[in-house]
Amino acid sequence: MTNPSATRTESASDLQKIYSARFSGQQAYRTSVWQILTRNFFSRWIRPTDTVLDLGCGYGEFSNNIAAGKKFAMDLNPSAQSYLGPEVQLLEQDCSLPWPLADQTLDVVFTSNFLEHLREKPALQATAGEAFRCLKPGGLFIALGPNIKYLAGEYWDFFDHYTALTELSLAEALSMTGFQIEEKIARFLPYTMSQGSQPPLWMLRLYLKVPALWKIAGRQFLVIARKP
């Protein structure tokens, strides 16, 4: 579930090559995984009438499957457009630059396995600032990503990983931006759900229902922050 989107430090052609090489032949399984994640877990924070932005959308597995009233997706990879559903509007840009959205227009900003691809922490701070500006009061920033505490050297196996994060460091960055932290889970999902082995989907449904399993297999954090 790694989305190799980033700020303008990688060219569009670089991103296309990374996506193609890393996820070749896996799209159907990845889509099935995200159908379960959106319906069985993340939908509890997102209402069918909400306006949602999928930050670093990749191939749109989240934005295509989440039930929401209006959907935006942001990514630098021009190929993303061909994977997004017709109801999803792509914002093809550097996420650390001003977003083409008015203040207080979003209910939820969701990002999965994206923030670690930002080259520098100031880019992350700028991105968080734009999310804060565009979210309505009470809006949520939901972030899922690899937790460096539980990965060590394996984290750097991906060439486009730059910013190492934990649930604590990301929560601190969001707090500095003005967010209030509501959930801070160090161990949530395994490091990857769609590369290498592809476990039966019933195992994922069971896993989501048993948080005790997260403490054993989880190596991705989940942070949920709210704009006051």
Question: Residue written as tokens 């670093």?
Answer: 56
Strands 135-146 and 106-112, bridge-based pairing: parallel
> What CA–CA distance (Å, rounded) separates 183 from 151?
21
Please state the pTM of the whole predicted model: 0.88
CA 50 to chain centre: 17
> What CA–CA distance (Å, rounded) separates 25 from 165?
29
Domain residue limits, the chain: 12-226
Other beta carbons less than 10 A from residue 52's beta carbon: 26
What topology is assigned to 12-226 in CATH? Rossmann fold (3.40.50)
Model pLDDT for residues 11-55, shown as the tens digit of each residue = 555 554 455 444 445 788 889 999 999 999 999 999 999 999 999
> What CA–CA distance (Å, rounded) separates 63 from 41?
14
End-to-end CA distance of the chain: 30
Model pLDDT for residues 97-145, shown as the tens digit of each residue = 999 999 999 999 999 999 999 999 999 999 999 999 999 999 999 999 9
